[in-house]
């Protein structure tokens, strides 16, 4: 089973992914975490992308595409991935299908966490204190939210067409959201 968790910055994708990983024995593939790791380790790629990430813009499709292919092609993760932060655009969603097909896999469900800009701002303020992410100040967070709004509709339409999309109210408490997600996943596992 491969899943996608979708939603704006601060929606709780990372938190819920960690819950799903433990509950269903999957692996979290967070493109944001992978990119931040490159920056932390001062790799060539990290140096190239740090200003893009800090400005709240998206890294190129080629860069994120090759990061996720490394994961998808690895047998260890076969049919056990929760994609967190990918896809973000229609072209990434199409690329994901192409890559999964290449490695004889598919997406089984797309979970969308719906949250308002007000909640996003509040959560990002809290996360900034805990995680000290350089792209978590309010102005950049608003920019990231607007970027999300611009490209998310096309991605959601894409998954609606294939009946994969499930919408979860991301404004509820963490435990409540986890229960709802868990029930949705169990419904496809049969």
Which residues contact ligand AMP (rule: CB under 6 A)? 9, 31-32, 35, 52-53, 56-59, 64, 85-86, 88, 92, 135, 144
Report the residue number, 12 or 187, with the smaller CB distance to ligand AMP.
12
In angstroms, what is the minimal distance from the CB of 156 to ligand AMP? 15
- Return the DSSP state at 89: S
In angstroms, what is the minimal distance from the CB of 152 to ligand AMP? 12
- Return the DSSP state at 106: -
Q: Which class for 183: exposed (0-12), middle (13-18), buried (19 or more C-beta within 10 A)?
A: exposed
In angstroms, what is the minimal distance from the CB of 20 to ligand AMP? 16
DSSP codes joined into one string, 42-73: T-HHHHHHHHHHHTTPPPPHHHHHHHHHHHHT
In angstroms, what is the minimal distance from the CB of 74 to ligand AMP? 18
Report the residue number, 32 or 177, with the smaller CB distance to ligand AMP.
32
């Amino acid at each position: 089973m491969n899943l996608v968790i979708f939603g704006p910055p601060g929606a709780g994708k990372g938190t819920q992914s960690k819950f799903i990983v433990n509950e269903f024995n999957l692996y979290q593939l967070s493109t944001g975490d992978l990119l931040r790791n490159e920056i932390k380790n001062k790799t060539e790629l990290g140096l190239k992308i740090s200003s893009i990430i800090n400005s709240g813009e998206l890294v190129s499709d080629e860069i994120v595409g090759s990061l996720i292919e490394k994961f998808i092609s690895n047998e260890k993760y076969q049919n056990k991935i929760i994609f967190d932060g990918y896809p973000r655009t229609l072209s990434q969603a199409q690329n994901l299908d192409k890559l999964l097909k290449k490695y004889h896999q598919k997406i089984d469900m797309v979970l969308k966490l719906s949250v308002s800009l007000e909640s996003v701002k509040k959560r990002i303020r809290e996360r900034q204190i805990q995680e000290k992410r350089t792209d978590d100040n309010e102005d950049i967070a608003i920019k990231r939210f607007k970027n999300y709004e611009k490209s998310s509709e096309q991605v959601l339409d894409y998954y609606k067409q294939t009946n994969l999309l499930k919408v979860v109210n991301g404004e509820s408490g963490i435990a409540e959201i986890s229960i709802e997600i868990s029930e949705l996943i169990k419904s496809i596992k049969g």
